[in-house]
Amino acid sequence: MISLAVQDQSQVAEARRSASDLAGRQGFAEADRGRVALVATELATNILKHGNGGEILVGVYGEGPDTGIELIALDKGVGISNVAASVTDGHSTAGTAGNGLGAIVRQSHFVDIASWPGNGTAVLARIKSGRRPEAHADTSAIGAVSVPKTGQDVCGDSWGLSVGPEETTLLVADGLGHGPEAAEAAVEAVRLLHRFGGHRVPVLLEYIHGGLRATRGAAVSIARFQPGSGKIIYSGIGNVAGVLSTNGELRRMVSMPGTAGHNARKIQAFEYPFTGGLVILHSDGIASSWTLERYPNLAARHPTLIAAVLYRDLTRHRDDATVLVAKW
């Protein structure tokens, strides 16, 4: 994902150009690129008017025909007291025409908003190419935010999922260091997930460990959920995190010391009771000590928006940062 600071009016134009350019590289027609540019402009303008500055994340979501551009606006401003009213044209708290969020909803295929008075706002907008905008539900169970360290062109983290006939396996890999070589290791870990995803979790991690020997190595976390099993199977190497959230209560899972591809003296899987809630994996670019208490009803939001809120408040800014959220 591209992270774009929005602290002054000149950066609104930069956000618009960056979003439109990405849409062009994804094959969006001119009219669709215009919609992407409009949504980016409205999101950035709202950040300045109501959030006292913030950032916009721009990226691509989905696979195959169900793919598009996603824009995520993040600020730490006063928040929105009534989200439902805020998307109605004519509603304004800044003395403007009050058409900003309404325009975003009209030009997008999916919009989700999380906001808390005094704790800022996060807006997710997804736009597809070649389809007329019309609001619809997005029932995605998986969402992620992955952002490179400031000053880097590529992210040294990567994430992936493998969906089998009876289970879903999640992975986050944090390549050692930053830049292209770290990204190479992280991407290779995801490739190995797809190649060996049918194996038991500890065996899968053994394959990844062996397969990363030619790279600089990575910290890797793997979580597998089989609906009806009542448990999560988790295995990790290195400074990565796996967290379960059920009814707001968190349980942190255990990763073993080492670096996949270099030194991993012990690979071990652990089982944790789990029948539903959130599974959150993140790299060490995200602070490890956190709770969800300051975000009432966050678990009801889209998983990508959940990941974005955690990124907003917990990123260290001196490292690549990735948050992967699964919602069952």
- Torsion angle of the four alpha carbons 317, 76, 60, 125, in this order, in degrees rounded to the nearest 10: 180
**Secondary structure of the chain: what % helix, strand, coil (to 5)?**
30, 30, 40
- Specify the 3-state DSSP secondary structure of 49: helix
Q: Is 215's pLDDT higher than 90?
A: yes
Provide the 10 A C-beta neighbour count for residue 177.
16
What's the confidence (pLDDT) of residue 81? 74
83 in Cβ contact with 44 (< 8 Å): no
Residue-wise pLDDT tens digits, 256-269:
999 999 999 899 99
Q: Which of 80-84, 179-183, 291-295 has the lowest mean pLDDT?
A: 80-84
Nearest 5°: phi and psi at 87? -90, 5
pLDDT band at 137 (very low <50, low <70, confident <90, very high): low
- What's the pLDDT band for 145 if we cut at 50, 70, 90? very high
More confident residue, 64 or 8: 8
Q: Which residues pair with 251 in a beta bridge?
A: 244
CA nearest neighbour of 236 among 217, 252, 256:
256
Determine the pLDDT at residue 63.
72
Quote the crossing angle between the two packed helices 30-51 and 10-25, to the nearest 10°: 150
Q: Cα–Cα distance between 164 and 170 in angstroms, integer?
A: 11
Whether the per-residue pLDDT at 94 is higher than 60: the answer is no
Tens-digit pLDDT profile for residues 275-290: 999 999 999 999 988 9
Q: Which pLDDT band holds residue 93 (cuts at 50, 70, 90)?
A: very low
Tokens of 6: 């929005």
> Can you tell me the mean pLDDT for 94-119?
79
Mean pLDDT value across residues 96-111: 76
The DSSP call for residue 67 is E
Q: Is the pLDDT of residue 251 over 60?
A: yes
Lowest mean pLDDT among 21-25, 62-66, 210-214: 62-66
pLDDT band at 90 (very low <50, low <70, confident <90, very high): very low
Average pLDDT, the chain: 91
Q: Would you state the pLDDT for residue 15?
A: 96
- pLDDT of 101 > 90? The answer is no
Distance CA 87, CA 102 (A): 5
Res. 136 pLDDT band, cuts 50 70 90: low
- pTM of the complete model: 0.92
